[in-house]
Chains A and B, each alone.
Chain A
Amino acid sequence: MSIELRNISKKFGDFVAVDNINLHIETGELVALLGLSGSGKTTLLRIIAGLETPDTGEVLFHGADASDVSVRERKVGFVFQHYALFRHMTVFENVAFGLRVIARRARPAEAAIARRVHELLKLVQLDFLADRYPSQLSGGQRQRVALARTLAVEPKVLLLDEPFGALDAKVRQELRRWLRRLHDEIKITSVFVTHDQEEALELANRIVVMNQGRIEQIGSAEEVYHHPANAFVYNFLGNVNLFHGRIENGRVFLGDTAVELENTHAHAHPETGKAILYVRPHLLEIVMKPNGKQTFPATVKSINPAGPQVKIELVAEWGDLVQVEIDHDRYRELHLEPGANVFLKPKEQKLFVYSI
């Protein structure tokens, strides 16, 4: 089922949680709402579910206005951040709940309910825990029970609020892959909320980057990561160095150094004025000799060689801290020590300049 949001706004008191949002989600898509806490992503998810009523705008399911359709009739599955399992019911009863509350004449027979519940528990690989209570389960198990419970009513849309937020890193990785597989299998239109950019990039077909109740960009992982629409998106997706500089006659200056940048992804920057420059740590090269106007001097401050890349912290000539990541081979070639004077060279085609 496709979802369409038109001009959705929602205020809580004076706080604008969602500000005039338009969004179309295709049938079978897996979409991530990505943003910091307070960006309105959870509110938007709750509006889709019908748990929250928007002040203005409308939600359309499969082209039909759902404004007057109550939560219980919307046929959405909602997985809560803290799972919201019924604590006084066994795992079996939790999963069976959605089937048991169906009006008597439409309700499946007890045997059919039992069959369906066991089927779902097998799907989430928890059939052996059917008689346990939620308090006896680990976080990852609770999460999967919550999913099975949601799927029991065969929702047309699956909404997940920070699905992996409360889990530790290892379990998170595993569940992420599992959810991706599950989605590939049952092809249900899904929207999940996350503040973790890695999670969004890895899982979603499309990512909706949100900030202060608005959508900053909608696009695939490739698009939002490599072609960010604006400074916020670039800044939010991955680590980034931020330089205050200026533009003079189309040339960028950092401190006293003029850095000649060809093919910059300059976004509507004027010929002259102040500018902020964003460069990702792995898009800066360390060289030992200056190379015309494409490099600027810096001093090595500290080195962290643990991990797949060597993380080096430097101080630019004009005092800003700079993070750089290089691979281990290059690091061994350079023989870097704290205090060494080197030069930094942005790989210019990935550099973003924003006028301010």
Chain B
Amino acid sequence: MVRVVLITITLMFLALFLFIPVIAVFAEALQKGIGAYFAAIADPEARAAIRLTLMTAAIAVPLNVTFGIAASWAIARFDFPGKQTLLTLIDIPFSVSPVIAGMLFVLLLGVRAPLGGFLADHGIRVIFAEPGIVLATIFVTFPLAARELIPIMQAVGSEEEEAAMVLGAGGWQMFFRVTIPNVKWGLLYGLVLCNARAMGEFGAVSVVSGHIRGHTNTMPLYVEILYNDYRFTAAFAVSSLLTMLAIATLIAKRFLERRVVPAKQEQDDLAIKVAA
């Protein structure tokens, strides 16, 4: 009885807050027919927003994955002063509201700030331009890869890396042949999460963007503009693209999780055997 009630509540909750909205997005997007749907996506402003979003992710994701690997490796392998501080600092973007992060960049790099003024004098606009959007996105996404990789790096341990060195491997050979393959599923997982967040980020990007149509609108910002203009079909058409990204991310996440967990499991089994 209790089971039935709990399952029913869970399912109703999911239906109300997840399934119905997702279906509604697609229903609303296709309301005026498939032609109107594609027309909305093919609109030059929509295409510019999609392009900017893809570009932002294409810059932010590789940078953050690189940072994530470096930070997690340093944290898992070495003891150095300030290690705890670094761990705390990595979490800042999680604990700070994205809007505040955006404001921070405006304060620092806006035309009236010394640094921003200096850059503007040399013809570089950061705020209300693409660089600001990329910066804000990097800030918001940078814990994702590192957080995912730190526990995996720690679980794998350094013995295999030492073995590689004793066998004559150089630093990079060790890194690409042993370190990276050992964490590859966790790395992909972090990459997927990082990408989803980079494409979907609204708050921080909204502050630094300036909403210049066709120039500084990412997909989430463009959806808001369309919605405020009462262009619902177009708004939902672009939303549906983001929704599809979310669904693809979830599927990839499921798949990768299954790969990451057995790897950890195997490590544990080994540890148990050794202990015994």
A residues neighboring B (CB under 8 Å): 49, 51, 71-74, 76-78, 80, 82, 84-88, 97-98, 101-102, 135, 139, 149-150, 152-153, 166
B159:A97 contact, CB within 8 angstroms = no
With known contacts A88-B182, A97-B177, A82–B274 Cβ distance under 8 A: yes
For A51, the closest partner residue in chain B by CB is B162
Which of chain B's residues have a CB closer than 8 A to the CB of A80? 159, 162-163
Q: Give Cα A17 to B178, complex, Å.
A: 29
What's the minimum C-beta distance from B83 to chain A, rounded to whole angstroms? 15
Q: Is the interface of B mostly helix, strand, loop or mixed?
A: helix
Which of chain B's residues have a CB closer than 8 A to the CB of A84? 159-160, 162-163
For A155, the closest partner residue in chain B by CB is B166
B residues neighboring A (CB under 8 Å): 159-160, 162-170, 173, 177-178, 181-182, 184, 266, 270, 273-274
For B262, the closest partner residue in chain A by CB is A135
Q: Give Cα A153 to B166, complex, Å.
A: 10
Which of chain A's residues have a CB closer than 8 A to the CB of B273? 139, 166
Sample (13) of A-B pairs whose CB atoms are under 8 Å apart: A78-B163, A80-B163, A86-B160, A87-B182, A87-B266, A97-B164, A101-B169, A101-B177, A102-B168, A149-B167, A153-B167, A166-B273, A166-B274
What's the minimum C-beta distance from B164 to chain A, rounded to whole angstroms? 7
Q: Give Cα A139 to B166, complex, Å.
A: 22
Which of chain B's residues have a CB closer than 8 A to the CB of A49? 166
Closest 3 CB pairs of A and B: A98-B167, A84-B159, A84-B163
Query: Which of B173, B181, B270 contacts A82, CB < 8 Å?
Result: B270
Q: Give Cα A166 to B173, complex, Å.
A: 29
A87:B274 contact, CB within 8 angstroms = no
Q: Give Cα A173 to B47, complex, Å.
A: 71
Query: Which of B159, B167, B178, B270 contacts A150, CB < 8 Å?
Result: B167
Query: Which of B170, B182, B274 contacts A101, CB < 8 Å?
Result: B170
Which of chain A's residues have a CB closer than 8 A to the CB of B270? 82
Q: Give Cα A88 to B156, complex, Å.
A: 12
A88:B159 contact, CB within 8 angstroms = no
Which of chain A's residues have a CB closer than 8 A to the CB of B170? 72, 101
For B173, the closest partner residue in chain A by CB is A101
What's the minimum C-beta distance from B273 to chain A, rounded to whole angstroms? 7
What's the minimum C-beta distance from A324 to chain B, rounded to whole angstroms? 33
What's the minimum C-beta distance from A183 to chain B, rounded to whole angstroms? 19
Which of chain A's residues have a CB closer than 8 A to the CB of B166? 49, 51, 71-72, 74, 76-78, 150
B266:A97 contact, CB within 8 angstroms = no
What's the minimum C-beta distance from A52 to chain B, rounded to whole angstroms? 10
What's the minimum C-beta distance from B12 to chain A, rounded to whole angstroms? 43
Q: Give Cα A199 to B178, complex, Å.
A: 33
What's the minimum C-beta distance from B268 to chain A, rounded to whole angstroms? 12
For A80, the closest partner residue in chain B by CB is B159
- A86-B164, A149-B163 known; 19 other A-B pairs, CB under 8 Å? A49-B166, A71-B165, A72-B168, A77-B166, A78-B162, A78-B163, A78-B166, A82-B274, A86-B160, A86-B178, A86-B181, A88-B181, A97-B164, A97-B167, A98-B167, A98-B168, A102-B168, A150-B167, A153-B168
Which of chain B's residues have a CB closer than 8 A to the CB of A166? 273-274
B163:A86 contact, CB within 8 angstroms = yes
Q: Give Cα A263 to B16, complex, Å.
A: 94
